[in-house]
Amino acid sequence: MRGMLVAGNWKMNASLQSIETLINGIKQGLESVSENCGVVVCPPSIYISKVNELTQGSRILLGAQNVCEEDKGAFTGEVAGTMIKEFNCTYAIVGHSERRNIYRETDELVAKRFAAARRAGIIPILCVGELLEEREAGNTEDIVGKQLDAVLALEGIDAFADAVIAYEPVWAIGTGKTATPDQAQEVHAFIRSKLAGISKDIANNIILQYGGSVNGANAEELFAMEDIDGGLIGGAALKAEEFLKICAAGK
Ligand code: 13P
Protein backbone atom coordinates (compact mmCIF):
# COMPACT_ATOMS: atom_id res chain seq x y z
CA MET A 1 0.00 0.00 0.00
CA ARG A 2 1.47 3.34 -1.02
CA GLY A 3 2.10 5.91 1.71
CA MET A 4 1.83 9.68 1.71
CA LEU A 5 4.65 12.08 0.90
CA VAL A 6 4.84 15.80 1.57
CA ALA A 7 7.80 17.66 0.09
CA GLY A 8 8.69 21.31 0.59
CA ASN A 9 10.13 22.96 -2.50
CA TRP A 10 11.86 26.03 -1.12
CA LYS A 11 12.59 27.32 -4.64
CA MET A 12 15.12 30.21 -4.49
CA ASN A 13 14.29 31.16 -0.91
CA ALA A 14 16.30 30.77 2.31
CA SER A 15 19.42 31.99 4.06
CA LEU A 16 21.82 30.26 6.43
CA GLN A 17 19.92 31.77 9.30
CA SER A 18 16.39 31.01 8.11
CA ILE A 19 17.30 27.41 7.30
CA GLU A 20 18.27 26.73 10.86
CA THR A 21 15.06 28.20 12.24
CA LEU A 22 12.94 26.33 9.70
CA ILE A 23 14.57 22.91 10.15
CA ASN A 24 14.58 23.16 13.94
CA GLY A 25 10.92 24.20 13.86
CA ILE A 26 9.97 21.25 11.65
CA LYS A 27 11.93 18.83 13.84
CA GLN A 28 10.11 20.00 16.94
CA GLY A 29 6.66 19.34 15.50
CA LEU A 30 7.27 16.03 13.78
CA GLU A 31 5.43 13.97 16.36
CA SER A 32 2.17 15.38 14.95
CA VAL A 33 2.98 13.76 11.58
CA SER A 34 1.90 10.18 10.89
CA GLU A 35 4.66 7.63 10.28
CA ASN A 36 2.79 6.88 7.07
CA CYS A 37 3.75 10.30 5.70
CA GLY A 38 7.26 10.95 4.43
CA VAL A 39 8.59 14.45 5.06
CA VAL A 40 11.00 15.95 2.53
CA VAL A 41 12.67 19.34 2.15
CA CYS A 42 14.21 20.53 -1.12
CA PRO A 43 16.51 23.49 -0.45
CA PRO A 44 18.46 25.47 -3.06
CA SER A 45 21.47 23.29 -3.92
CA ILE A 46 23.99 25.50 -2.15
CA TYR A 47 22.22 24.81 1.16
CA ILE A 48 21.83 21.04 0.74
CA SER A 49 25.03 20.32 2.65
CA LYS A 50 23.96 22.52 5.57
CA VAL A 51 20.44 21.09 5.66
CA ASN A 52 21.95 17.60 5.57
CA GLU A 53 23.83 18.43 8.77
CA LEU A 54 20.77 19.97 10.41
CA THR A 55 18.50 17.01 9.63
CA GLN A 56 20.90 14.27 10.80
CA GLY A 57 19.14 11.86 13.13
CA SER A 58 15.66 13.12 12.22
CA ARG A 59 13.12 11.61 9.82
CA ILE A 60 13.30 14.59 7.49
CA LEU A 61 14.54 13.49 4.05
CA LEU A 62 16.39 15.66 1.58
CA GLY A 63 15.68 16.45 -2.03
CA ALA A 64 17.31 18.61 -4.70
CA GLN A 65 15.31 20.99 -6.89
CA ASN A 66 16.82 19.78 -10.16
CA VAL A 67 19.56 17.56 -11.53
CA CYS A 68 21.70 17.79 -14.67
CA GLU A 69 21.03 15.29 -17.45
CA GLU A 70 24.77 14.60 -17.71
CA ASP A 71 26.88 12.88 -15.06
CA LYS A 72 29.89 15.23 -15.19
CA GLY A 73 31.83 17.60 -17.40
CA ALA A 74 31.62 21.06 -18.94
CA PHE A 75 28.11 22.08 -17.87
CA THR A 76 28.61 25.39 -16.08
CA GLY A 77 26.06 26.08 -13.39
CA GLU A 78 24.68 22.54 -13.29
CA VAL A 79 24.72 19.99 -10.47
CA ALA A 80 25.13 16.24 -11.09
CA GLY A 81 23.10 13.47 -9.50
CA THR A 82 26.24 11.92 -7.99
CA MET A 83 26.96 15.24 -6.22
CA ILE A 84 23.58 15.59 -4.59
CA LYS A 85 23.68 11.89 -3.71
CA GLU A 86 26.92 12.50 -1.78
CA PHE A 87 24.98 14.92 0.41
CA ASN A 88 22.30 12.42 1.25
CA CYS A 89 19.56 13.47 -1.15
CA THR A 90 16.91 10.80 -1.50
CA TYR A 91 14.85 12.76 -4.04
CA ALA A 92 15.30 15.26 -6.86
CA ILE A 93 12.54 17.34 -8.43
CA VAL A 94 12.66 17.27 -12.23
CA GLY A 95 10.54 19.16 -14.73
CA HIS A 96 9.16 21.76 -12.36
CA SER A 97 7.02 24.18 -14.36
CA GLU A 98 9.41 27.01 -13.50
CA ARG A 99 12.19 25.01 -15.18
CA ARG A 100 9.95 24.20 -18.15
CA ASN A 101 8.56 27.70 -18.62
CA ILE A 102 11.31 30.09 -17.51
CA TYR A 103 14.35 28.01 -18.46
CA ARG A 104 12.76 26.27 -21.44
CA GLU A 105 13.41 22.71 -20.36
CA THR A 106 11.59 20.54 -22.89
CA ASP A 107 9.74 17.28 -22.21
CA GLU A 108 12.73 15.44 -23.72
CA LEU A 109 15.28 17.23 -21.53
CA VAL A 110 13.16 16.61 -18.45
CA ALA A 111 13.07 12.91 -19.37
CA LYS A 112 16.88 12.88 -19.55
CA ARG A 113 17.07 14.56 -16.15
CA PHE A 114 14.67 11.98 -14.74
CA ALA A 115 16.99 9.26 -16.11
CA ALA A 116 20.08 10.98 -14.67
CA ALA A 117 18.52 11.10 -11.20
CA ARG A 118 17.81 7.38 -11.34
CA ARG A 119 21.35 6.59 -12.55
CA ALA A 120 22.61 8.29 -9.39
CA GLY A 121 20.25 6.30 -7.16
CA ILE A 122 17.94 9.24 -6.56
CA ILE A 123 14.15 9.07 -6.70
CA PRO A 124 12.88 11.63 -9.21
CA ILE A 125 9.81 13.71 -8.39
CA LEU A 126 8.53 14.32 -11.90
CA CYS A 127 6.42 17.47 -12.13
CA VAL A 128 3.69 17.65 -14.75
CA GLY A 129 0.94 20.17 -15.30
CA GLU A 130 -0.86 22.41 -17.74
CA LEU A 131 -0.96 26.18 -18.27
CA LEU A 132 -4.23 28.04 -17.76
CA GLU A 133 -4.80 28.48 -21.51
CA GLU A 134 -4.19 24.76 -22.02
CA ARG A 135 -6.80 23.91 -19.39
CA GLU A 136 -9.28 26.38 -20.85
CA ALA A 137 -8.77 24.87 -24.29
CA GLY A 138 -9.57 21.43 -22.83
CA ASN A 139 -6.03 20.16 -23.38
CA THR A 140 -5.03 19.23 -19.83
CA GLU A 141 -4.87 15.46 -20.42
CA ASP A 142 -3.07 15.95 -23.72
CA ILE A 143 -0.34 18.07 -22.14
CA VAL A 144 0.10 15.93 -19.04
CA GLY A 145 -0.02 12.81 -21.21
CA LYS A 146 2.77 14.13 -23.44
CA GLN A 147 4.90 15.06 -20.43
CA LEU A 148 4.55 11.48 -19.16
CA ASP A 149 5.08 9.95 -22.61
CA ALA A 150 8.49 11.61 -22.97
CA VAL A 151 9.69 9.84 -19.81
CA LEU A 152 7.98 6.56 -20.71
CA ALA A 153 9.65 6.62 -24.14
CA LEU A 154 13.12 7.11 -22.69
CA GLU A 155 12.92 5.08 -19.49
CA GLY A 156 9.97 2.72 -19.81
CA ILE A 157 7.29 1.97 -17.23
CA ASP A 158 9.66 0.15 -14.84
CA ALA A 159 11.37 3.45 -14.04
CA PHE A 160 8.12 4.55 -12.38
CA ALA A 161 8.46 1.79 -9.79
CA ASP A 162 10.93 4.12 -8.09
CA ALA A 163 9.60 7.56 -8.86
CA VAL A 164 7.08 10.10 -7.65
CA ILE A 165 4.86 12.22 -9.89
CA ALA A 166 3.68 15.66 -8.81
CA TYR A 167 0.70 17.14 -10.63
CA GLU A 168 1.11 20.88 -10.46
CA PRO A 169 -1.34 22.88 -12.57
CA VAL A 170 0.71 25.94 -13.52
CA TRP A 171 -2.22 28.30 -12.92
CA ALA A 172 -2.36 27.18 -9.28
CA ILE A 173 1.33 27.72 -8.48
CA GLY A 174 2.05 30.71 -6.27
CA THR A 175 -1.30 32.25 -7.21
CA GLY A 176 -3.34 31.32 -4.15
CA LYS A 177 -5.73 29.64 -6.62
CA THR A 178 -5.78 25.98 -5.61
CA ALA A 179 -7.30 23.37 -7.88
CA THR A 180 -10.44 22.07 -6.19
CA PRO A 181 -10.08 18.56 -4.78
CA ASP A 182 -12.29 17.31 -7.64
CA GLN A 183 -10.22 19.08 -10.31
CA ALA A 184 -7.00 17.66 -8.89
CA GLN A 185 -8.47 14.19 -8.39
CA GLU A 186 -9.63 14.11 -12.01
CA VAL A 187 -6.08 14.62 -13.33
CA HIS A 188 -4.56 12.30 -10.74
CA ALA A 189 -6.99 9.56 -11.79
CA PHE A 190 -6.04 10.20 -15.42
CA ILE A 191 -2.32 9.82 -14.59
CA ARG A 192 -2.88 6.65 -12.61
CA SER A 193 -5.09 5.09 -15.26
CA LYS A 194 -2.62 5.99 -18.00
CA LEU A 195 0.12 4.15 -16.12
CA ALA A 196 -2.27 1.31 -15.25
CA GLY A 197 -2.75 0.78 -18.97
CA ILE A 198 0.88 -0.41 -18.99
CA SER A 199 1.34 -1.78 -15.47
CA LYS A 200 -1.42 -2.00 -12.84
CA ASP A 201 1.09 -2.75 -10.13
CA ILE A 202 3.25 0.28 -10.76
CA ALA A 203 0.19 2.52 -11.14
CA ASN A 204 -1.24 1.34 -7.81
CA ASN A 205 1.99 1.87 -5.93
CA ILE A 206 3.24 5.17 -7.30
CA ILE A 207 2.88 8.26 -5.13
CA LEU A 208 1.03 11.07 -6.93
CA GLN A 209 1.49 14.41 -5.21
CA TYR A 210 -0.59 17.51 -5.83
CA GLY A 211 1.12 20.91 -5.89
CA GLY A 212 -0.19 24.45 -6.27
CA SER A 213 -1.14 26.76 -3.42
CA VAL A 214 -1.47 23.96 -0.88
CA ASN A 215 -1.63 25.31 2.68
CA GLY A 216 -2.54 24.25 6.18
CA ALA A 217 -6.20 25.03 5.58
CA ASN A 218 -6.77 23.13 2.32
CA ALA A 219 -4.34 20.19 2.57
CA GLU A 220 -6.72 17.86 4.36
CA GLU A 221 -9.48 17.95 1.75
CA LEU A 222 -6.98 17.58 -1.09
CA PHE A 223 -5.14 14.68 0.54
CA ALA A 224 -8.44 12.94 1.30
CA MET A 225 -9.00 12.33 -2.42
CA GLU A 226 -8.47 8.77 -3.56
CA ASP A 227 -5.56 9.38 -5.91
CA ILE A 228 -3.80 12.24 -4.09
CA ASP A 229 -0.93 10.91 -2.00
CA GLY A 230 0.46 14.09 -0.50
CA GLY A 231 1.80 17.33 -1.89
CA LEU A 232 4.65 19.33 -3.30
CA ILE A 233 4.55 22.57 -1.37
CA GLY A 234 6.04 25.93 -2.30
CA GLY A 235 5.34 29.06 -0.25
CA ALA A 236 3.73 27.25 2.67
CA ALA A 237 6.84 25.09 3.12
CA LEU A 238 8.84 28.11 4.27
CA LYS A 239 7.11 28.34 7.65
CA ALA A 240 7.57 25.38 10.00
CA GLU A 241 4.13 25.60 11.57
CA GLU A 242 2.30 25.78 8.24
CA PHE A 243 4.42 23.03 6.69
CA LEU A 244 3.79 20.78 9.69
CA LYS A 245 0.03 21.34 9.41
CA ILE A 246 0.23 20.14 5.81
CA CYS A 247 2.35 17.14 6.78
CA ALA A 248 -0.13 16.29 9.54
CA ALA A 249 -2.87 16.11 6.88
CA GLY A 250 -0.93 13.26 5.27
CA LYS A 251 -2.61 10.39 7.10
P1 13P B 1 3.08 27.11 -4.16
O2 13P B 1 2.75 26.11 -3.08
O3 13P B 1 3.82 28.31 -3.66
O4 13P B 1 1.91 27.44 -5.01
O5 13P B 1 4.14 26.35 -5.13
C6 13P B 1 3.86 25.09 -5.57
C7 13P B 1 5.06 24.55 -6.23
O8 13P B 1 5.45 25.01 -7.30
C9 13P B 1 5.79 23.47 -5.55
O10 13P B 1 6.75 22.91 -6.39
The per-residue pLDDT of the chain, averaged, comes to 97
What number is the average pLDDT over the span 84-88? 98
- 3-class SS of residue 56: coil
Question: To test the ligand 1 pocket, which listed residue (9, 11, 222) has its Cβ within 8 A of the most ligand atoms?
Answer: 9
| Domain CATH for 213 | 3.20.20.70
Q: Which of 173, 201, 206, 200 is nearest to 188 (CA)?
A: 206
How confident is the model over 133-148, as pLDDT tens digits?
Answer: 999 999 999 999 999 9
The rounded radius of gyration (Å) of the Cα atoms in the chain is 17
How confident is the model over 27-61, as pLDDT tens digits?
Answer: 999 999 999 999 999 999 999 999 999 999 999 99
Kindly report the number of other CB atoms within 10 A of residue 167's CB atom: 29
Give the integer Cα–Cα distance in Å for 133 and 121.
Answer: 36
Q: What is the pTM of this model?
A: 0.98
Taking 90 as the threshold, does the pLDDT of residue 178 lie above it? no
* Domain count along the chain: 1
Domain that holds residue 137: 4-248
Question: To test the ligand 1 pocket, which listed residue (97, 125, 168) has its Cβ within 8 A of the most ligand atoms?
Answer: 168
CA 237 – ligand 1 centroid, Å: 9
